[in-house]
Chains A and B, each alone.
Chain A
């Protein structure tokens, strides 16, 4: 995977992290390539599934409820539980972990009532969840998709 992404690809991705709608011509001027060449590289990265450009709305701003869940798994594999979470509409993000929890997930619901239904009914139907802890996000202090390591990366 690392071989599929060169330094120029990283610069293009980096530009799209700052502003996902920045024009290919603008990015081209920054990385020293033609608009067509940037477009071609972008399309390649998309087709390889390395990058996706998306509009992310802030839950509070659109009147939704956003919660983070940490799960402990018992009597089955983490993979089984993670895969059972993926198709659920309310679940936006699922990642397996090592550390304090086995799975970290993000949930978005239209209202507190829907979140309650999700936490007390929907998710309880998945076998193998030993414990669920939830944290409702009340205010976003930083929300950046840039990170230093990416720029310094090989």
Chain B
């Protein structure tokens, strides 16, 4: 789909506050609330954007993993689709560069992380897993940051 200036402005506003009321957005853009609602619906349905709640999994006591996976025998997409079925896996992306597939997962604890890694090892086509266990979040995808982390807001006088 093509994205116009109005869409881009809506995306920019929701990037700061995903719950900004439609009436507010409409007033700033000079369009009707119905238009804003339709635009947000279209952007979401077409997979351009999703509005979601972010938390720091570490602050909730969970374990977050970033795994870079090398694939052999099968295509990276086949393996990626298989890994995407795992309930603990939140993000699966095909990459170009050093590795074939990036998997991001959140587990309740290390025991669950170990069992997830075993499940991934057993997945056909997975040749090698580069494992990273997150220990501290410094910057997150929100505008003003979660507790203990910075957001996307431009730095002014930051440490």
Distance between Cα atoms of A38 and B102 in the complex (Å) = 36
Given A83-B138, A99-B133, does the pair A54, B14 have CB atoms closer than 8 Å? yes
Distance between Cα atoms of A99 and B66 in the complex (Å) = 10
CB pair A13 B94 closer than 8 Å: no
Interface residue total, chain A, C-beta cutoff 8 A: 63
Q: Is B74 an interface residue (CB 8 A)?
A: no
Residues of B within 8 A of A26 (CB): none
CB pair A82 B95 closer than 8 Å: no
Residues of A within 8 A of B89 (CB): 142
One of A82, A91, A135 near B98 (C-beta < 8 A): A135
CB pair A86 B155 closer than 8 Å: yes
CB distance from A75 to the nearest CB of B (A): 20
The interface stretch among A29-37, A57-65, A122-130 is A57-65
Residues of B within 8 A of A152 (CB): 108
CB pair B137 A95 closer than 8 Å: yes
Q: Is B27 an interface residue (CB 8 A)?
A: no
Task: Describe B's contact surface by its main secondary structure.
Answer: mixed
One of A49, A83, A96 near B135 (C-beta < 8 A): A96
Residues of A within 8 A of B33 (CB): none
Q: Is B121 an interface residue (CB 8 A)?
A: no
Residues of A within 8 A of B18 (CB): 20-21, 52-55
Distance between Cα atoms of A72 and B66 in the complex (Å) = 15
Q: Is B126 an interface residue (CB 8 A)?
A: no
CB pair B54 A54 closer than 8 Å: yes
A-B contact pairs, 21 of them (CB 8 A): A13-B53, A13-B55, A16-B53, A20-B50, A20-B52, A51-B54, A54-B51, A54-B142, A55-B14, A57-B48, A58-B48, A87-B155, A97-B134, A98-B133, A101-B132, A135-B98, A138-B95, A140-B93, A140-B94, A148-B88, A150-B106
Seen from chain A, the residues whose Cβ lies within 8 Å of a Cβ on chain B are 1-2, 5, 13, 16-17, 19-21, 48-58, 61-62, 68, 70, 82-83, 85-87, 89, 91-101, 104, 133-150, 152-154
Seen from chain B, the residues whose Cβ lies within 8 Å of a Cβ on chain A are 1, 3, 8, 11, 13-19, 40, 46-57, 59-62, 64, 66, 68, 77, 80-81, 84, 87-99, 102, 105-108, 112, 130-148, 150-152, 154-155, 158-159
